[in-house]
Amino acid sequence: MTSPQTRMTRELGIALPIIGGAMYPCSNPELIAAVSAAGGIGVVQPVSLTFVHGHDFREGLRYIRRLTDRPIGMNALIESSSRIYRERMEKWIDIALEEGVRFFVTSLGNPRWVVQRVEPTGARVYHDVTERKWADKALAGGVHGLIAVNSRAGGHAGPKPAGQLFDELAPLGLPIVCAGGIGEPADLVEALSIGYDGVQLGTRFIATTECTASDAYKRAIVEADADDIVLSERITGVPLAVIRTPYIERVGTKAGSIARWMLRGRRTRHWMRSFYAVRSAIQLRKASLDPKATQDFWQAGKSVAGIDAVKPVAQVMREFADALTP
Ligand SMILES: Cc1cc2nc3c(=O)[nH]c(=O)nc-3n(C[C@H](O)[C@H](O)[C@H](O)COP(=O)(O)O)c2cc1C
């Protein structure tokens, strides 16, 4: 039997080595709270909490606190050439610290400034990486752990399988979390036996009763197989894992020729990325929540293979826990 206690669970003060990964637009407060209440740690996605689910950021955190007093985390997407976005993120991080959040998952960019800001409170920063060169940079920035995003992940998947990525990152000596492909308890057991300190799940938690995504989206996850997951550049400009629906088949998965040309240009790239960020935020919000949405951009990873029913979070977590305890 594999022990549920790892370096990650000890650092974060949680019972199970399971992170409910941040998901734009699917991270609603009730879902985050349910993952934490069941012994894992739910991660808040600030844009999802405010823009999609309509909470003032601080009030949203307090609402989650009323649902559970267990630890929660916050996702900070830190790559941005926009000063306004950076200032907004700094404010969100400060509010999160004031509200007692002590776990931060950083994505893209250099996490050094986040580490410097939160470390004095004893908070931990784990950084999303898809290959060794980003991990080296994160280590130099002082992070406390790595989230290894592999080629089976939902969201922006990495290029490498879980085993290969672990071998590349293990020599750095930090706790490493496996993100991607964990749909059923056997996947968790396998990740821990590779040597991972924990797992980060996204897709599995969309197909739960607490997630407020539309029933059509949840059904599509339950029915999909790994082969139904394709990478599309049309939504955010970089490959995003989505379910191959009739809509995706019709519009294709490659960015249009003008968009591609603009993404290549040094001056136009920034403009095009900003355009994609705003447009995709609106499109994904509509496609995920609106039961009548016809443009079916449904993000999901290859973990769909192990997901066979919509269940309450507590049941999902109990099944994972049962696979670890004798
Ligand atoms: C719908 C969806 C939205 C996501 N949004 C984000 C995000 O905003 N920030 C982030 O760091 N990761 C995001 N991810 C990645 C997840 O946090 C997690 O790493 C990933 O889903 C793990 O793969 P799995 O879906 O196979 O479990 C998203 C994933 C999905 C499925």
The tens digit of pLDDT for each residue in 11-27 reads: 999 999 999 999 999 99
Provide the pLDDT confidence category of residue 326 given band limits of 50, 70 and 90.
low
Asked whether 288 lines ligand 1 (CB < 6 A), one says no
The tens digit of pLDDT for each residue in 206-250 reads: 999 999 999 999 999 999 999 999 998 887 778 899 999 988 888
The atom number, within ligand 1, closest to the CA of 303 reads 26
As a residue count, the chain comes to 326
The tens digit of pLDDT for each residue in 99-149 reads: 999 999 999 889 999 999 999 999 999 999 999 999 999 999 999 999 999
Q: How far is CA 152 from CA 201, 241, 281, in A?
A: 11, 9, 23
The residue nearest atom 22 of ligand 1, judged by CA position, is 180
- Does position 313 have pLDDT exceeding 80, yes or no? yes
* β-strands 41-44, 229-232 pairing: unpaired
Asked whether 6 lines ligand 1 (CB < 6 A), one says no
Asked whether 181 lines ligand 1 (CB < 6 A), one says yes
Query: In terms of Cα–Cα distance, which of 67, 110, 6 is closest to 210?
Result: 67
- Does position 80 have pLDDT exceeding 70, yes or no? no
The tens digit of pLDDT for each residue in 18-68 reads: 999 999 999 999 999 999 999 999 999 999 999 999 999 999 999 999 999
Asked whether 44 lines ligand 1 (CB < 6 A), one says no
Q: What is the DSSP string of 76-139?
A: EE---S-HHHHHHHHHHHHHHHHTT--EEEEESS-THHHHHHHGGGT-EEEEEESSHHHHHHHH
Whole-number Å distance, alpha carbon 21 to ligand 1 midpoint, is 6
% of the chain exceeding 90 in pLDDT: 76
The atom number, within ligand 1, closest to the CA of 241 reads 31
Whole-number Å distance, alpha carbon 23 to ligand 1 midpoint, is 5
Provide the pLDDT confidence category of residue 284 given band limits of 50, 70 and 90.
confident
Asked whether 280 lines ligand 1 (CB < 6 A), one says no
Identify the DSSP state of 210. Answer: S
